[in-house]
Amino acid sequence: MTVTLGALNGMDRAAFVELLGAVFEHSPWIAEAAWQRRPFADVEALHQAMVDIVIAAPRDRQLALLKAHPELGASKIVAEFSRREQASAGLDSARLADAAKLRNLNRTYRERFGFPFILAVKGKRREDIVAAMEERVIHAADDEFAVALDEVAKIARFRLDDILAEDRVAAASDAMEGVGAELMRRADELGAVTEVPGTVTRTFLTPQHREAARMVMDWMRLAGMDATMDAIGNVVGRYEGAKPGLPALLLGSHLDTVRDAGKYDGILGVLTAIACVGALHKRGERLPFAVEVIGFGDEEGVRFQSTLLGSRAVAGTFDKAALDRKDADGITLREALTVFGLDPAGIRMIARRRADVLGYLELHIEQGPVLEADNLPVGIVTSIAGGTRANIEIAGMSGHAGTVPMKLRHDALAAAAEIMLAIEARARDNPALVATVGRIAASPGATNVIPGKATFSLDLRSPDDATRLGAYTDIVASAQSIGRKRGVTVAIDRTFESPAVGCSGWLMVEIERAVAALGVTRRRLASGAGHDAMAIASLCDVGMIFVRCKGGISHNPAESITASDAEMGARVLYNVLRKFQPRDATAPRRNERAEK
Ligand SMILES: [Zn+2]
């Protein structure tokens, strides 16, 4: 039988002892005493309480506890726990080749110390066990008594983890049942908050931003969180852990959209995070850490042409110069914040201290076609591609479309076309590289005039920085060479450079475990699009879960997901959350780069 910690804390004495009475071999008195020490914040606290009870017990009780253990490799093992544990280490008698040696060691040990040899065998090989026995049989009696009690405590921890952990996945299924429909409904409600009727358009620091933030804060409060808006316009909900003020695991994504966007980009990550906390709240469950859900105010950078403003502020990398950036109407970010009712001077206070943050998890639609092609609802992100952007300007010679012979022309637009083809060719054969020219303009721009000037954009991305930078160097070289050949000048202005960000290996493993526990094939993939996790990665370890979207379409009204995929994503996030083991936030960073 398995239960949740919440249920365990609420049990009467008889049920509690029935469940935990065998955690220490044939010694229900330990569970009886532990019952009075409820509630327990986590398995660790429960285990510690039980161990404390053993340590405080008189020596004859401790000895009785040691004596209650079966002999390793014994032919008759009554307790189910011990039988399974020993079988997993190859100690079940049927598989034992040198049973005689072990029997002799066992006898010598028992004669010497008065209790059987006890070892937490889980995960150990037979050779290790025999070696430990040979070493410990020559210990002084008091030393060995202490070692044996230590082993008993270790065994108890494995058993408690079994009792409490197995159920966590099953519990997740109940808690998240039907959440997909609710996620879709809320995404529809948010999608209706738009600057341009008939589309989804919600940019930074607009009345629609305020309205969306208000709705999200309401949902956060319903889910048991304290919700506030910070000085850059992020919505932050906090769900305290077993006691107030613990370091927090951050969950989230963004609330802003591009123009004429879909309903799920960004939003889905905020809504699923709220749903997970809501499920905890409904069960009255507190985790051994706090959970914070953040709806970032600006990720897309539509209004001020500067992306990730919200997450950079949280990460402590907000560039103050951004306050002077102007939108299309000439309003600076500083002015827009003030009009919105926020204090720009407060932005630096948003930056989190590393010791307060345990990690960051972001769920996001894939925005690409990989999961759909593999017929999978969710995937585990390995890294977020780095990017280089540039403006390329070609200056040629304009002239009459009828009078200038072809071989005397210096057509800027034709040169741009040739360079574009070279860019495409450079990226086409490398699966780890994508290159896009998304915007082009020619002047004077008349049907009967040879273009004298052409400007176009370049966007290069790769999960591997060297690949991207190498391609950029090659593209610059071929653009110049094409320019020389055609007698036009080529000016290249690199406007943006962002290195690739690796998701943390240990968080990928946590996500993979949750995916596998739900019976879904694990699929790792890189993210070609940028996300808030890129900015947060400078603060703490980050992990990302992708949810399949139809046709890989995003930044488009046709963006589409299913309720069942949304629910699967939420279940993965919920399982990761409930099994999450906080790491010491002050320990060295473990941001190893993901394998590709
Ligand atoms: Zn997004």
Answer with the one of 498, 526, 551 that is the final residue of a domain: 498
Q: Give the model confidence (pLDDT) of 423-451 as tens digits.
A: 999 999 899 999 999 999 999 999 999 99
CA 55 – ligand 1 centroid, Å: 53
CA–centroid distance, 256 to ligand 1, in Å, is: 8
**Ligand 1 mean position, distance from CA 161 (Å):** 37
Q: Are residues 490 and 517 in the same domain?
A: no
Task: Say yes or no: 406 and 519 in one domain.
Answer: no
CATH number, domain of 404, equals 3.30.70.360
Sequence-distant (6+) residues with CB within 8 A of 305 are 325
**Number of structural domains found in the chain:** 3
156-197 per-position pLDDT tens digit: 988 888 787 654 555 555 788 889 999 999 999 999 999 999
Predicted pLDDT at 98:
67
Residue 445 CA to ligand 1 center (angstroms) comes to 35
Pairing state between β 290-296 and 235-239: antiparallel
Q: How far apart are CA 43 and CA 582, in angstroms?
A: 13
- 81 is a domain residue: yes
pLDDT of residue 74: 55
Q: Is residue 592 one of the residues assigned to a domain?
A: no
527 Cα to the center of ligand 1, angstroms = 11
- Within 24-176, residue ranges assigned H as helices are 28-35, 43-56, 59-67, 80-88, 99-113, 126-136, 141-175
Q: Do 508 and 463 sit in the same domain of this protein?
A: no
On whether residue 507 sits in a domain, the answer given is: yes
Distances (CA, A) of 462 to 224, 389, 428, 465: 40, 12, 13, 7
List the Cα angle 386/390/396 in 5-degree steps. 155
Write out the residues surrounding ion ligand 1, Cβ under 5 A: 265-266
Say yes or no: 237 and 321 in one domain.
Answer: yes
| Shared domain check, 333 and 199 | yes
Q: What is the pTM of this model?
A: 0.67
Distance 457 CA to ligand 1 centre (A): 21
Distance (Å, whole) CA 127 – CA 450: 83
Identify the pLDDT of residue 583: 65
194-200: long-range contacts at Cβ-Cβ below 8 A with a sequence spacing of 24 or more? 196/259, 196/260, 199/259, 199/260, 199/261, 199/557, 200/257, 200/260, 200/261, 200/262, 200/263, 200/557
CA 167 to centroid of ligand 1, rounded, Å: 33
Tell me whether residue 231 is in a domain. yes
Q: How far is the CA of 254 from the centre of ligand 1 (A)?
A: 6
Which of residues 463, 498, 533 is at a domain's end?
A: 498
Q: How far is the CA of 559 from the centre of ligand 1 (A)?
A: 12
Q: Is residue 450 part of a domain?
A: yes
CA-CA distance, 194 to 174, in Å (whole number)?
A: 34
Same domain, 255 and 216: yes
| Domain identity same for 272 and 319 | yes
CA of 10 to the centre of ligand 1 (A): 41
Residue range of the domain that includes 184: 176-383+501-579
Q: Measure Cα distances from 441 to 70, 278, 417, 445, 488 in Å.
A: 82, 50, 11, 8, 16
Give the per-residue pLDDT at 77.
44
CA of 298 from ligand 1 middle (Å) equals 10
pLDDT confidence of residue 361: 98
Ligand 1 center from residue 74 Cα (angstroms): 59
Q: Both ends of the chain: CA-CA distance in Å?
A: 40
Residues of the chain with pLDDT under 50: 1, 75-78, 94, 167, 585-596
Our separate counts of H helices and E strands in the chain read: 21, 16
Distance CA 199, CA 262 (A): 8
CA distance 289 to 580: 9
Residue 153: CATH number of its domain = 1.10.3330.10
Asked whether 199 and 259 are in contact (CB, 8 A), the reply is: yes
Q: How far is the CA of 32 from the centre of ligand 1 (A)?
A: 52
Residue 589 placed within a domain: no
**How far is ligand 1, taken at its centre, from the CA of residue 164, in Å?**
36
- Residues 87, 230: Cα–Cα separation, whole Å: 55
Q: How many angstroms is it from 596 CA to the middle of ligand 1? A: 22
CATH number of 276's domain = 3.40.630.10
Per-residue pLDDT at 547 = 98
- Can you tell me the distance from the alpha carbon of 389 to that of 472, in angstroms, rounded to the nearest whole number? 9
Contact 225, 237 (CB under 8 A): yes
Co-location of 169 and 187 in the same domain = no
- Domain contains 348: yes
Task: Check residue 589 and give its pLDDT.
Answer: 45
Q: How far is the CA of 92 from the centre of ligand 1 (A)?
A: 54
Q: Can you spell out the DSSP letters for 115-157? A: S------TT--HHHHHHHHHHHTTS-HHHHHHHHHHHHHHHHH
Q: How far is the CA of 385 from the centre of ligand 1 (A)?
A: 14
Give the distance from CA 89 to its chain's centroid.
Answer: 34
Distance 226 CA to ligand 1 centre (A): 25
C-alpha 253 – ligand 1 centre gap (Å): 7
* Interval between CA 427 and ligand 1 midpoint (Å): 24
101 and 197 together in one domain: no
Identify whether residues 337 and 464 lie together within a single domain: no
Reading the block at residue 422, the tokens are 């070279």
The residue among 498, 524, 544 that closes a domain is: 498
Question: Are residues 116 and 67 in contact, defined by beta-carbon separation less than 8 angstroms?
Answer: yes
**30 and 163 fall within a common domain:** yes
94 in a domain, yes or no? Answer: yes
pLDDT of 72 reads 75
3-state DSSP call for residue 244? coil
Whether residue 39 has a cis bond before it, omega within 30° of 0? yes
| Residues 188, 276 within the same domain | yes
